[in-house]
Amino acid sequence: MRTLLLDRDGVINQDSRDYIRSASHWRALPGALEAMARAHRAGFRIIVISNQSGLARGLFGVRDLNAIHCRLSEELAHFGGRIEAFFFCPHGPQDDCDCRKPRAGLLLALRERLGLDLTRTPFIGDRLSDAQAALAVGARPILVRSGIEPLKPDAVAASGVQEVYDDLAAAIAALV
């Protein structure tokens, strides 16, 4: 079975500079859930990989994060999709941890726990930090322009990322 790695905020759901703090604030981006279900039906197992510094900042707790992930999973199930696992970094940028993207710690933990070969595994994100983490483990970085931070074409070109799409639906259409 092929694996598809997805960042969450700005890829699957609307992002917010104030953080997604509860399930009631979580909103899927247009077409994202349908695209994820299409990937699932095409034989991809889906794993979400995200930085969640709002935990370190005390803006929400693990229960809130789990509720957000439950809502995402439940809404995706309505379209026939499924997420196999959620991996997240609970640290803030100042914590200098190995699991916060652009570092590869989350991906290395994923590889170890699930026994995955990440080589050429697609990792779709909305920030260069997602692409840098993917490149660090030999995964296939794909960027989408649906995040709140605009992607700068010169920075994307310098990163070596070859694939950039408007949103998750377009990226998955190219994969499937």
Of residues 114, 107, 124, the one with CA closest to residue 176: 124
Domain chopping of the chain, boundaries: 2-175
Q: Is 64 a catalytic residue?
A: no
Residue 32: helix, strand or coil by DSSP? helix
Euclidean distance between CA atoms 45 and 2, whole angstroms: 6
| Residue from 9, 15, 64, 130 carrying the catalytic annotation | 9
Q: What is the pLDDT of residue 2?
A: 94
Mean pLDDT over the full length of the chain: 96
Please identify which of the residues 7, 15, 64, 126 carries the catalytic annotation: 7
Structure tokens that stand for 135 in this block: 């490149």
pLDDT at 132: 97
9 is catalytic: yes
Are 3 and 119 in contact by the 8 Å Cβ rule? The answer is no
In CATH, what is the architecture of 2-175? 3-Layer(aba) Sandwich (3.40)
pLDDT at position 27, please? Answer: 98
pTM of the model: 0.96
Tell me what pLDDT residue 1 has: 81
**H or E, element range at 165:** strand 163-165
The per-residue pLDDT for 120 is 86
Task: Spell out the per-residue pLDDT of the chain, length 176, in tens.
Answer: 899 999 999 999 999 999 999 999 999 999 999 999 999 999 999 999 999 999 999 999 999 999 999 999 999 999 999 999 999 999 999 999 999 999 999 999 999 999 999 998 999 999 999 999 999 999 999 999 999 999 999 999 999 999 999 999 999 999 99
